[in-house]
Amino acid sequence: MAEDQEDRPWTEQQWDDFLRNADLRAARYGELMETLIDDPDREEIIDHEMGWDRKRSTVDEQWLQEVSEAAAQAQEDLENSNGAPAEDPVDVQQMDEVDQHRDRELDAIPAYAACEAASNAIDRALVPLMRDSIDEEADEDVAQAYIQIKIAGAKIAGGHGMGYKDEVLGGNVVNCKRALAAVEECQIALKLVEKKQLIPATAMPPLLEYVARSHKAICDRIIELRARMWWQK
């Protein structure tokens, strides 16, 4: 039974914990870099604070050895080619086609499309305010509404990028949950903007409707993805 549990894909909670810890570690690393930017022993101190100076496991050593060998082989290949360019140069047109295909995939996701529509509507209504001279409190709420709806779309795209295989599906769901939280923050910010009467009264209801549609579409997407997670039913 224990082995069966170990072979199962991660649950949503496991992914949630993993990504939250990753965020905390990234934030901690950023703080250390900012604090120690001028310290000559910066790298050693950061390694110690992040726990990267501990004795490496056998698996770590093997991985490092494989990376070193791959790097050495790449360098040898480059030297043997006398620095000549690769036979297959980067095809810019092909890269553009890949990007366009990726965009079409995202646009086909109702939750992403809804967030994009909301983002465009918010841009039209709030960007002029961001360019105007307004007080700090109002500016903060306007900026929050503007930013959070974009975060929502980015999180859905991030989840889509992770994929839909069992091994990563929980991570996709967690990204959608973060998108949902961002939409809710956007709703709060918009209501504060409305309360301060920063835009015409008739302009706010359509914006809130766009964001409400995004909220529902993300909820539907989470339900649909969770239905595939047979291991946590």
pLDDT digits (tens, 9 = 90+) for 45-86: 888 888 876 655 565 566 556 656 766 676 666 666 555 545
One domain for residues 109 and 76: no
Could you tell me the CA-to-CA distances from 160 to 90, 108, 168 in Å, in that order?
25, 11, 10
Q: What sign for the dihedral angle of Cα 15, 180, 185, 127?
A: positive
Residue type for position 57:
S
One domain for residues 53 and 113: no
One domain for residues 108 and 66: no
One domain for residues 218 and 158: yes
Answer with the one of 80, 113, 138 that is the final residue of a domain: 80
**CA-derived radius of gyration, the chain:** 23
Residue 104 to residue 204: CA distance in whole angstroms: 30
Residue type for position 68:
S
Residue 16 to residue 152: CA distance in whole angstroms: 17
Give the percent of the chain with pLDDT over 70: 74
Q: What are phi and psi of 11, to 5 degrees?
A: -80, 170
Whether the pLDDT of residue 91 is over 90: the answer is no
Residue 12: count of CB within 10 angstroms of its CB: 19
Whether 233 maps to a domain, the answer reads: no
Range of lowest pLDDT (131-135, 186-190, 229-233): 131-135
| CATH code of residue 176 | 1.20.1440.60
Whether 153 maps to a domain, the answer reads: yes
Band of the pLDDT at 140, cuts 50, 70, 90? Answer: confident
One domain for residues 109 and 69: no
Is pLDDT larger for residue 220 or for residue 98? 220
One domain for residues 52 and 134: no
Residue 42 to residue 220: CA distance in whole angstroms: 47
Whether the pLDDT of residue 134 is over 60: the answer is no
One domain for residues 115 and 221: yes
One domain for residues 122 and 26: no
Domain count, the chain: 2
Whether the pLDDT of residue 18 is over 90: the answer is yes
Domain encompassing residue 51: 9-80
Residue type for position 158:
G
Given this model, what pLDDT does residue 2 score? 45
Whether 98 maps to a domain, the answer reads: no
Residue 128 to residue 126: CA distance in whole angstroms: 5
Range of lowest pLDDT (45-49, 51-55, 201-205, 210-214): 51-55
Whether 95 maps to a domain, the answer reads: no
Given this model, what pLDDT does residue 64 score? 55
Residue 119 to residue 140: CA distance in whole angstroms: 17
Given this model, what pLDDT does residue 1 score? 40
Give the mean model confidence (pLDDT) for residues 76-101.
Answer: 58
Whether 52 maps to a domain, the answer reads: yes
Count of residues in the chain: 233
One domain for residues 108 and 202: yes
- Residue pair 116/179 in contact (Cβ under 8 Å)? The answer is no
Band of the pLDDT at 130, cuts 50, 70, 90? Answer: confident
Helices within the chain (DSSP H only): 2-7, 12-35, 42-50, 58-80, 92-107, 110-131, 136-162, 166-195, 204-226
pLDDT digits (tens, 9 = 90+) for 153-199: 999 999 999 999 999 999 999 999 999 999 999 999 999 999 999 89
Band of the pLDDT at 3, cuts 50, 70, 90? Answer: very low
Given this model, what pLDDT does residue 6 score? 64
Whether the pLDDT of residue 104 is over 90: the answer is no
Given this model, what pLDDT does residue 128 score? 83
One domain for residues 114 and 56: no
Return mean pLDDT, the chain.
84
Whether 93 maps to a domain, the answer reads: no
Answer with the one of 65, 80, 95 that is the final residue of a domain: 80
Answer with the one of 80, 114, 131 that is the final residue of a domain: 80
One domain for residues 111 and 217: yes
One domain for residues 62 and 110: no
